[in-house]
Each structure stands twice: as structure tokens, then as C-alpha cells.
Structure 1
Amino acid sequence: MADKKFTADGAPYTVLPEAVLAAELARHANPQSFASTDVVSIQPCPIPDERTQDRYRVAEWDLPGGRWRFQAVCDGHAGHETVDHVVAILPGALEAALAAHLAKGPYTPSDVSDVLRATIAGVDGKIAQDLLDLFPGGVDAIARLSDNDITSIINDGGVNSAKVLRCMRGSTVLVSLISPTLDVWVASLGDCQAVLGVKQASGEWDATVLSTNHNGTDASEVARIRGEHPGEDECVLSDRVLGAIAVTRAVGDFLFKLPAIYTTRIFMNSSPGFQFARKIADFLGRNLTPPYMSAQADVQHVHVQGGSEAFLVLASDGLVDLSGDTYGNDHREPSICGKKWVEVLGRKERSGNAALYLLRDAMGQAEDPVSALLTVEGVDGRWMDDTTIVVTHL
């Protein structure tokens, strides 16, 4: 008979024997393999409204000069509309932009970096423009409209509603490109994480973090925002933009990018609206000189020597949280958790889907803690952050 235990909060869970536990983890994580890439994505909470807001995409593109590999992890927040739009639009837009640039002839690494930055910013800019086009008179026109006028425009249950909701929700973006010559680019917007592992001749593995952590605990990000908003002491408050959101760069989130009237007159009249509408008023008074959030991705480039044993890990911040809980609090630091991920995946005894192997290690090897994450009962909301892992073997 399965053993019943209780979490520290008193919630019951069932301790599963290893064979059952492994099968249950695979059921929740849905491991997939695409040529050289292994993927898992998990949110064990069964409540429909708590379904995962993580998304991923993996593709191979035949472009001028050879086959390129594309991977992306996007972590949505406040809803699904923006993250769904990003994973639907961004891959095709990036493939077209890259193909057009490569068709011109020789390119430099900075050229590809520029294409990545421009394409991601372009997706965000189009989301904004779709909303602005609904109110061509801008702020002054919005101020003259009645609530009925506004709701008749935005709550059509179709195209206009979708345009508004994409502005109200947000998504981080982590994208990697691998060229036929094993040049690797990683573009990051938000707090997902990328790490490259390369095996050296000595047998040791080197770990290189290729993403940038864009959140309110990062000193350089805080300095950037404060520099853009001099005299506004509360532009970053309690490690959050305007005291409200942890990430400092994302697609969407136009509450933090447009004047406050767009929130008070448009977003607050949207149906569906915000899950926590009452919290909006807490920070709107700080929205004085937007934008406070950026859609400019940081891009890093490295070249991997041909013949090297190497892999690239892209992960949503759920893996960072698991790493901190299982390996120790300092493993939330990008360089530390990245080194640990490379160590785990570089083990000689590793087998099977690499992403699933890393997920299990980060959740814990003992049956008890993993069982608690998968079988806990009677919890009203999610008890584990959405976690997505993409591992590509170079």
C-alpha cells in the first residue's frame, strides 16, 4: 500500500515507489525529442485555471548556407494570450528575417544579433501598434470617449478583444539560434536562463551562462531603469518595476509601457480583465513617464569548436527555483545553477531524455520530495512554478 504523508503545511500526499514515480513524472512532464533536442514541460497542478503558461518551440530551418536550429522558451504571466501570440508569431518572423539577411551574402555574428533584437522588439511593437490603431487620436481621444464607447470597441469578443488582451498579459522570451558552423546566439528578455556546456580535452565540463537575468534584483537593470526615470524613487520598489512586477524586460505588459490612461480607460474596461484588478491601483500612480519595461533583448554569441561534445540548455525560471530548493539557495544564482545543470547532464551514467533527466535531478532523487510535488492533495493553487527545459546537443 502507498505511504501517506503530509507536507509542512498539512497537505496530504502519497509516496510513490520509484517505478510508479518515474512513470507519473513522465506523464506530467511529457518528454519529447526533436532530432538533437530533448524537451520537458511540467505544471502538476490539475486546476484548469492554473495550467502552465510556459511555452516552447523547436525547429530546423533550411536557409541560405545550410540548416539552422532554433529553440525558444517563453514564460507567460498574467494570462496566456501574449505567450500564445509570441510562440505563434516569433519563429516565422525570425526565420523570414534571418533568411532575408543571409541571402545578401556574408554576414558577421553581430548581424545575426541585430536580427534577433530587431525581430523580438518588432513583435512587441506590433502588439502595441494594434492597440494604438484602435484609438487613433491617442491619449486625448481616449479621454473624450465614454466607457460605453470604449467597451464597444474593445469587447467585441474577437479581433479587438485579442489585441487588447495581448497588451494586458506578458511573456519572457529566450531564443537560441545554432548555425551550420556551430555558432550559437542566445537572445534573452526576462528571467529564463540559458547555459552552454562544453567538454574539454581533460574530460572536465565548462559551463557558460548565455542569458541575462532581467529582474528587479539585478543591480544593472535597476540602475538602467532609474537612469531612464530620474527623480522617480519608486520606479523600482521592493525589487519590482513600479513595485508591481519582478521582470524588467518582456513582450507585452503595456501597463508598464503606455501612459496610465490606457490602463484606467481601456485595460480596466476589458472583459475578461485582470485577475487581481485591485492591485492595479496600487502602482498606477507611479506610472509617470513610461515606458518602464523594455522589449530590447540582450544577445550573446559564442562559437563551439567542431567535434566538441557540447549541449545548450534553455530553461524557464521554474528550473531555477527547483535548483535552489534541491541544491541550495545559492543555486538560484545563474552561474551557480548553470554549472550544476552542466554537471548533471555531463554525468557518464546519464541516459534517456536529457531534459527529463535534468528535471528529475532538480526535483530530487529521493522518492519522498518528488512524490510530494506530484501527488499533493487539497491545495487551492499551484505549489510548483511552471518548469520547461530544452536541451539541444550540438
Structure 2
Amino acid sequence: MTLVLSAKPKLFYLSNQQLQTISKRLLSTSVKRQTNRLTNGLIKTHHQQNRSNNRQNQKIALVSGIVIVGSYIAFNQSNYYNLDTLPSSPSSGKAPKLLEDNKKFYSTSTNSQSISHQQHKEGVFLLNDEQVSRKLRQFEESYFVNRGKGVVRYDICQLPSNSPIEDDRAEEIVQVPILQDNNIKTSTDWMFFGVFDGHGGWTTSSKLRDQLIGYVIHELGTIYKPVQGEENLRYVPNSATIDQAIKNGFLKLDHEIVTKNIEKLLLDGNKAKAAELLMPALSGSCALLSFYDTNSKMLKVAVTGDSRAILGSFKDNRWTVRQLSIDQTGANPTEVARIISEHPDEPKVIRNGRVLGGLEPTRAFGDCRYKLPATIQEKIYKQFFGRSLPNQLNSPPYVTAEPVISTTKINPDNNDFLVMASDGLYEMLSNEEIIGLVVKWMEKEKMIKPQKSIWNYFNKDNNLPEVSDITQDKSSKKPFRRLSTNQGFMLQDNNVSTHLIRNALSNGGSKEQTAMLISIPNPVSRRYRDDLTVTVVFFGKDHNNIIQNNNNGTSTVGNDQGQLEVNSQATAGGLDASKPKL
């Protein structure tokens, strides 16, 4: 009998008698000889030692030089069984029932110690306290700003849920010589802090990390006009002109990502560049960028999407929080009204709180599926790759990268501090809780003195201070990943952003809850928590005290030539962690 296996695996149903005959022949030729030599140029036996407890040797038939790896017939060296009657169960003495007809024709199960190991399938184990802290602090950074310009320190921390993390961040400081209205020559620092919350992949947020601040600086450079005769000295424009320059920077970068790169790809048809040019357009990202002018003490917050910036202040003998950005989603009535007015013939353009029923942010970078005409998208998908078009794509664009900008005067005397974060933090903590957690941390670090009041006299040590939300617009989403209203908290991190993430995961101060959420591996973790990116900026005047309290007594004088100094105590994970770039 000749057994022929084709290159494309097919399933042949043989009778039990035929299978028994084949098995006897294989056993008589391969098991007795125990060799790998070819038999008549057709059948080669290969012995593999199974690592399971019964230590069976399996035979893989190789016919006409074609190796069929996926499906095989396994035989025991000492016995073979008729497929109609399997061996009895030791406990019952009865043959185990297989399916409805007591027959098992074939199996394609993988060896649990081969492919599973290669794919890193591991058990889920609850991390201990040390392991939890190590994972929380892996991507934390902290810097002292030794420039005496009103920003004394900023802390950053990220905790991935996706792999790789879809969030990103960027910071930059630029010194600019300016001429004030009273003809006084001075210099100001432009301080930029960015948080970029990606979705559908990490490529768009990575693009923003590398280029958005540069685009905004370029646009600002066009409106800070040079002083005649002193090219390095600049006139300061008005606030509205600055806002428009920031918007132009956002829109020009998005135009490059979504339109110019795709035009370039369609014109030259270079498939080698398809991933580099297409991926940032197909995925998307929210963008939150803060621009602080140290001379005017004006803080501008530009938001595209649903990342959020809040300002904590102590004035009138109480702590307050003010939201400096409003979430731009399909649940925001203002955004819904705007999009409906732009698409009057599509009353259902927002469905279930999402653009065309799919995208939650109403403003974002990338997301070309909601911006390009269907004809262009079909060309892209046909020639390269992509995703199916959204339903009812009638009159794009539906989504814009244009930011909404707020302007706030910073007062260092009020102990002002800024918290910027991707929406993963606000899904777990309210604005008041975030400010209260930072205040408690500042008291521990001796950055501020605990406030003495009647409220604090009766307040328990494990409770947060009372914080009043003075935000006018209350349309932003509230925390929804909360099971408890307990006001307990944990206070064990030197980095305040790490401190916020730890407490966000704790569900009201539970170490076990934090450990449980951090122990869940990706991608399953995404069901229970989002990527988390948090940046906290501290404004103030007495910079030397901050250094003394946090850097083992070492004091550095702030000046125009001062550099950033790494706060090693709050940078446990090191500075070499970075996300892959295209």
C-alpha cells in the first residue's frame, strides 16, 4: 500500500482495520530498528522524546520529502489501541466516553511545553509588595529645574497596559530673549509638557512625541517677530495670536500625518514605506500640551481629545482644583452640537456617544478613517493595507486635530501645581481626589506645611484634605472604574506621579487591589485598566528649599544657564526606557 500526503493537508477518514494495518507496519519497521535512515526513499521516522509523564515516543511520517507537522498519528511503543475500544479507566474499569460516538479521529493540540513556552504563556501570580513597587516605578522620572524661572520640579510616570504602551509624553524647555513693552530686554523660558494618549496602536502618539512641540515652536517663532537690528531679540505678541500659532502647529502636523504622507505614498507606490507612512494615519492619538511662559507666568493648555489637565491651588485658606481642559468626546454636549452643525444632513453622526458609532474622542490626530473620503481610503486599502470604512461615511472629515486652548495666570504664592494625565487616571480618580493626593504627598515631602484648621483637627490622618472643584464646565466624564468610596490612601513613593498611579489602582487605599490590577498581564489587563501616563509640574519661587529637602541637602542656585537635574530618588526605573520608533 502506498500512502500519499499532499502539500495542502487533507483529512482522510480510514476504517479502523486500515488504521490498524498502517500502525502495525509502521511499528514493525520503525520501532524495531530505532533509526532515522530512509526506507525505500519514501518513509523516514523521526524519534521525539515526549516530556510528559508517560514519556511516549512519537513518530512523524515523512512522505515524498513533504513534512506534515500540524497533524500526525501517534503510536505507543508497547501497545496500540483499536479506536473503537480505548483502555479502561483505572478507577471505574469502564472505557471513557469520547464525544457522542466513542471515537476520536485526530488531534491537533500543541505540546504545552513547546509553542506555549515560545508564546510566553505563563500563569498569573499575585505580585508581592516589592514586585508591585518595582513595576510601578519602572518608567518614573523626576527633574529639578535649576533656572529660577518659577518651575521648580516636574515628575513623570507611566504604567503600560497595552504592549507596547500606546501613551507617550514629551517635555522641552527653550530660552527666548524678548523685548518687553517698557523696552526692557530680558529672556523667558518656554516650557512645554505633553501627554499623548494613543488608540489603535502606538505609532501616532510616537509621532507626536517626536514632532508636535517642534511644530508649535516653529509657529511661535513666526509670530514672535525679531527686533530690528537685534535679530535674536523678539517682540511678544498678544494672547490670541499665540493661541492661533499653537493651533496652526497642531493642524499642520496632522495634515502631514493624514494627508501629505498618504499623497506621497499613493504617488510613488513605494510599498517599502507603507508601514512608516500609513501607520500614524491609521491609528490615532489624543494630545494634551501645556505651554508655560515664565516671564508672563501665563499657562496655556491645548487639548485635542480627552486627556485632561487640572490645576491645584491654595487660596482663601482652602485647596481648590480647576479643570484647564474639557474632555472632547461624544458625551460632551458642546462637541456633539459642533459636529452636528458641521454635518446637518446626518443627525445620527454621533451614535452611542461616539463619532459614527465608533470613535469616542471627537478630536484626535491620525484616525484617517474619519477624515479621508471613501474613494481615497479604498485606494489605500486596495494598494497597501488598512481597515474597513466606518458605517455611513458620507461627508468626512468628522474628526479634527484642532485644539481648544485655555489660558491661566499662575501664582507661585498659591502653591500652584499642574497635573496632566491620559484619561486612564481620571477613570479611577476624581479631580478632587487627585489634588488631595498630591497635597498629602507634598506634606510628606515637606514642600508645604500641613494646614491647621478646624476641618483638619477632626479629619483622620488617613483621609484626604477637603478640595473644592471650581471648574465651570462639569461635562467631563466622572470616574467609573471604582467599587469603593473609601478615602484611604497610600503614601510611599518619592515620585508624585507614581504616587497618583498607585492610589488610582488601589480602589480607595487597598494594597491588594493595586497588586491584583498590576499582576494581570497584557493584553488581558486592558479590560480592567488603561495605559496610564501622569505628569505633575510644581510652580514656586523658593527653588533651593525644594532641592535641599529632596536631594540629600545639596543646593543648586537657579539661573538662566541652569540645567535640568535628575532627581535620582524619584527616578528609580532609570532614564533609558523608550518606546520603539518607526
Q: TM-score range by the shorter chain?
A: 0.7 to 0.9
Alignment equivalent of 1:309, drawn from 399, 407, 415: 415
- The match for 2:137 is 26
**Superposed displacement of residue 102, structure 1:** 2.6
* Matched-pair contact (CA < 8 Å) for 1:315–1:387: yes
Instruction: Find out whether 1:215 has 2:329 as its counterpart.
Output: yes
AA matched with 2:306: D
Match of 1:124 in 2: 254
AA matched with 2:433: K
Answer yes or no: is the 8 Å Cα contact 2:141–2:157 preserved in 1.
yes
Q: Does 1:265 align with 2:371?
A: no
Residues in 2 aligned to 1:378 and 1:230: alpha-carbon distance in whole angstroms: 42
State the SS of the aligned residue for 1:134.
Answer: helix
Alpha-carbon contact 2:497-2:534 (below 8 Å) kept: yes
Amino acid at match of 1:388: T
Q: Deviation of residue 164 (structure 1)? A: 2.3
For 1:261-340, list aligned pairs within 5 A. Answer: 261-267=375-381, 269-271=383-385, 273=386, 277=387, 280-281=388-389, 283-284=390-391, 286-323=392-429, 337-340=430-433
Q: Which has the larger radius of gyration?
A: 2
8 A Cα contact 2:164 2:202, kept in partner: no
Q: How does 1:4-83 map to 2 (within 5 A)?
A: 12-14=124-126, 16-17=128-129, 19-27=130-138, 30-35=139-144, 36-44=153-161, 50-64=163-177, 65-83=187-205
- Alignment pair present for 1:169 and 2:287: no
Q: Which residue of 2 aligns with 1:145?
A: none
Deviations, residues 66-85 of structure 1 (Å, cap 9, x unaligned) = 11211000011112222211
Deviation, structure 1 residue 161 = 4.0
- Whether 1:186 and 2:297 are equivalent positions in the alignment is no
Residue in structure 2 matched with residue 253 of structure 1 by the alignment: 367
SS in 1 for 2:249: helix
Instruction: Give distance in 2, aligned partners of 1:261 and 1:297.
Output: 28
Tell me what 1:370 maps to: 514
Letter in 1 for 2:323: V
Counterpart Cα distance in 1 of 2:289 and 2:189: 17
What is the TM-score when the length of structure 2 is the normalising length?
Answer: 0.55
Does residue 134 of the first structure (1) align with residue 264 of the second (2)?
A: yes
What CA distance in whole angstroms lies between the structure 2 residues aligned with 1:126 and 1:193?
Answer: 25
Select the residue among 234, 245, 258 that pairs with 2:348: 234
Q: Deviation per CA, 1:94-152, whole angstroms, max 9, x where unpaired?
A: 222223423441322222211111111111122233145337xxxxxxxxxxxxxx6x9
Unaligned runs of 5+ in 1: 1-10, 136-149, 324-336
Q: State the match for 2:55 in structure 1.
A: none
Specify the SS of the correspondent of 1:294. coil
**In 2 relative to 1, CA 107–44 (structure 1 residues): closer, same or farther, beyond 3 Å?**
same
Distance 1:244 1:199, change over 3 A: same
**Alpha-carbon distance, 1:252 to partner:** 1.1
Match of 2:495 among 353, 356, 359: 353
Choose which of 319, 322, 343 in structure 1 pairs with 2:436.
343
Is the 2:250–2:403 Cα contact (8 Å) retained in structure 1? yes
| Residue 297 (structure 1) shift | 0.5
TM-fit CA distance, 1:44: 4.7
One-letter amino acid of the structure 2 residue matched with residue 255 of structure 1: R
Cα RMSD (Å): 2.3
Q: Which has the higher contact order (CA 8 A, sep 6+)?
A: 1
Aligned length: 339
Other-structure match for 2:53: none
SS of structure 1 residue aligned to 2:299: strand
Q: Using the alignment, how far apart are the partners of 2:254 and 2:537 within structure 1?
A: 27
4+ residue runs over 6 A deviation: none
Matched to 1:107, the amino acid is P
Q: Is the 8 A contact 1:56 1:72 kept in 2?
A: yes
Tell me the residue number matched to 1:382.
Answer: 526
Q: 1:362 to 1:350 in 2, by over 3 A?
A: farther
Percent identity for Structure 1 against Structure 2: 24
Which protein is richer in helix relative to its size?
Answer: 1
Is the contact made by 2:156 and 2:534 (CA closer than 8 Å) also made in structure 1?
A: yes
CA separation in 2, counterparts of 1:379 and 1:70?
32
Q: Distance in 1 between matches of 2:142 and 2:331?
A: 35
> Is the 2:287–2:307 contact (alpha carbons within 8 Å) kept by the matching residues of 1?
yes
Q: CA deviation at 1:268?
A: 5.5
**Partner Cα separation in structure 2 for residue 354 and residue 54 of structure 1:** 19
In 2: Cα distance, 1:125 partner to 1:247 partner: 18
Shift of 1:13: 4.0
Deviation at 1:381, TM superposition (A): 5.8
Letter of the aligned partner of 1:315 in structure 2? A
1:349 Cα deviation (Å)? 3.6
8 Å CA contact 2:306, 2:329 repeated in 1: yes
Counterpart code for 2:512? D
Contact 1:256–1:291 (Cα < 8 Å) also in 2: yes
- Asked if structure 2 preserves the Cα contact closer than 8 Å seen for 1:154 and 1:161, the reply is no
| CA drift at 1:378 | 8.8
TM-score by length of 1: 0.80
Change (3 A) 1:66 1:322: same
* 5+ residue gaps, structure 2: 1-122, 145-152, 178-186, 227-234, 446-493, 540-582
| Alignment check: 8 A CA contact 2:124 2:520 kept | yes
Q: 1:378 to 1:108 in 2, by over 3 A?
A: closer
* Cα shift at 1:163: 2.2
Quickly say closer, same or farther: Cα 1:265–1:210, change in 2 above 3 A. same
